[in-house]
Amino acid sequence: MKTSWLRIGCIGYLSLVFFLISQEVIAEIVPVNFAKVTISDNFWTPKINTVATVTLGACITYTETKTGRIRNFEKAAAKSGEHEGIFFDDSDVYKALEAIAYSLKNHPDAAIEKKADEWIDKIAAAQQPDGYINTFYTLTGLKNRWTDMDKHEDYCAGHLIEAGIAYFNTTGKRKLMDVGIRMVKHIDSTFRLSENHWISGHEEIELALVKLYHATNEKQYLDLAIWYIDQRGHGYYHGAERDSKYDQNDLPFEDQKKVEGHAVRAMYLYTGVSDVSAAKNETKYLPALLSIWDNLVGKNMYLTGGIGSSGENEGFSKDYDLPNEHAYCETCASVGMILWNQRMNLMTGESKYIDVLERSLYNGALSGLSLSGDKFFYGNPLSSTNGYSRSEWFGCACCPSNIARLVASIGNYIYATSEEGIYVNLFIGSNTVVQCGRTKISVAQKGNYPWDGTTTINISPDSRIKKKLFIRIPGWAVNKPVPGDAYTYLTPDLSSVLITLNGQKIDFTLHRGYAVIDREWKKGDEISIQLPMNVERVISNENIQANKGLVALQRGPLVYCLEHADNRGKAMNIIFPDQAQFSASFNPSLLGGIVTISSKVPVIDISGEGESVSTTIKEITAIPYFSWANRGEGEMQVWVPRKVIDLRLLSK
């Protein structure tokens, strides 16, 4: 121990404590793969079906006929023709294929699988003899490949790898995965094995390589992922110079302390670093990951779980800079938040990461997809005065296929396992079978979450077995909406969480945010958990200038907003006094069936040219944030003034 102290020396006492704590952080928890989970949920099943029947159709149409993405592969195979679109458009094809792979699990479709196979054949035909595949450089000049780190060659390769693994997991067909493997071997021989420096200008391949390592057990892929991470922050650059913070390249990763730069790039990097840490069971990067996460959640995250406030760099600006109407909050960044927070949970066993995952999932990410499934948000603001609306597609079309693959793969995030037992992370109607030694344990959930707080979990092993069941108790149900001090409840009205086992109430203790039930399980055991579903008023840290004097509504995991369609054509003229009373009710005919929040509160009316201003008490209705912008353009706001004097904008 004396030698260790001497070696650490100037790091200081606090750093040592942090390091020692981190030695115990790596937990050997693994998610139950989507291919082993069947979804049967009142909330998610319709959305999964919409993605399968509508969203994927939109992705296929735009990928194959309305844009040149598939034609690029055909031309590359023929070694003739001009490249169409943006240099990273290959990635959209791969993400669409990944979404198709996930969708085929819960929604088999022979026609869509046939279409996917056709695409895969065209992709394979476009691959170069040395394994390289990228239609932009194949059609514009292979002599220029690997000369500009910002041309997304390895970003596209990462999505290719993910798509290949997902398609193999669902169909057993490995042609696409083999294309990805050949590209990885080309990259590895070109850079790591040849000792040539290279930086990925858009991170993504790091997490994909760890997935490939787990799928094949080939250590080469894990070594390449580590190499990619350790290249960062040393001044290596290829292509046009730019602010190195933009792509998290200003410091070696272990020296980074806060979020910076492009939000999607950051999330993919942090996910990859977390994956490497878990796979290697080492703590080299953990202090940085923990510090960055605290900075992100405590000072740079919206109540919706959206991140990246600035449209200028599609990412982060400065701490607490969280404007509402001009919030960027790219849909892909929320998808990245879900990926990273899952990995942080798997490493630490801390439920707070699933709390943030859930927040981003039900709010910041889900708002990116219309209820009809064929319109999308790129950015997700928390206020609109000028008719912000959804689009059928984008020139840079990363978000449609990304939200499609997320919804289709929701089964990846519900359950996890460790040597100790089984984790129930999300309350989604579903069933799976977990192998514990020689014993198979069937797990099934039923409920009406997020509209209702009661969920039933059935545990049925094929023979008696003693294991722990870890049930996440959401932070919003017992404490506050988000870890840290960015958001708190104004006047918490939290009822007790109730858990019963085979009809009998049981006492439980929380361990890292989980209720732990340790017993010998037998066939037919049933747990019921009841979470409070009160309407809660949320206020911000005073450092968030945009929300001073404002309040937001939350019920369960859902953030609510006011929209023009429910409030006489306006949303910016409503006040939520602290003494206001709110009630919630389910409306099966509104927006596909939602719980609305209503109250009688002051509403500002302006007549003439602002000459007459009056305040009257009127009934208002709030809807879940994810469901806005499905009924035409108009006003919307999440954060509402608490007093008339605080009204920022008056409707005119």
SS3 (DSSP) at 194: coil
- The DSSP code sequence of 561-582 is EEEGGGTTT-STTB---TT---
Strand duo 535-540 + 498-501: pairing: unpaired
Instruction: Decide: 541 and 601 in contact? Cβ < 8 Å.
Output: no
Peptide bond into 450 cis (omega under 30): yes
Residue 12's alpha-carbon distances to 6, 9, 404, in angstroms, are 11, 7, 47
- The DSSP code sequence of 101-152 is HHHHHHS--HHHHHHHHHHHHHHHHT--TTS---HHHHHH-GGGTTS-GGG-
Q: How many CA atoms lie within 13 A of 243 on its CB side?
A: 6
Q: Using DSSP, how many helices (H) and how many strands (E) does the chain show? A: 18, 23
Residue whose pair of structure tokens reads 């067909």 in the numeric block: 173
Q: Rounded to 5 degrees, what angle do the CA atoms 39, 44, 50 make?
A: 105
Show the beta-strand stretches assigned E in 453-577.
Answer: 454-461, 465-472, 487-489, 498-501, 504-505, 510-511, 514-521, 525-530, 535-540, 550-555, 558-563
Please indicate whether residue 314 is annotated as part of the active site.
yes
Q: How far apart are CA 89 and CA 76, in angstroms?
A: 13
SS3 (DSSP) at 38: strand
Token digits of residue 628 = 């806005």
Element (H, E) at 613: strand 612-624
Residues in Cβ contact with 12 at an 8 Å cutoff, skipping those fewer than 6 apart: none
Please indicate whether residue 398 is annotated as part of the active site.
yes
Write the DSSP symbol of residue 246: T
SS3 (DSSP) at 529: strand
Q: How far apart are CA 66 and CA 275, in angstroms?
A: 37
State residue 504 phi and psi, 5-degree precision.
Answer: -110, 130
What is the identity of the amino acid at 179?
V
Please identify which of the residues 206, 314, 536, 563 carries the catalytic annotation.
314
Residue 634's alpha-carbon distances to 329, 348, 595, 606, 622, in angstroms, are 19, 43, 21, 18, 14
Q: What is the CA radius of gyration of the chain?
A: 25
Write the DSSP symbol of residue 300: S
Please identify which of the residues 59, 156, 332, 398 carries the catalytic annotation.
398
SS3 (DSSP) at 449: coil
Instruction: Give the full edge-to-edge strand order of the sheet including 525-530.
Output: 37-39, 430-436, 439-447, 454-461, 525-530, 498-501, 504-505
Q: How far apart are CA 493 and CA 536, in angstroms?
A: 7
Strand duo 550-555 + 640-641: pairing: antiparallel
Q: How far apart are CA 60 and CA 97, in angstroms?
A: 9
Neighbours of 304 (CB within 10 A): 28
Element (H, E) at 335: helix 331-348
> Known catalytic residues?
314, 398
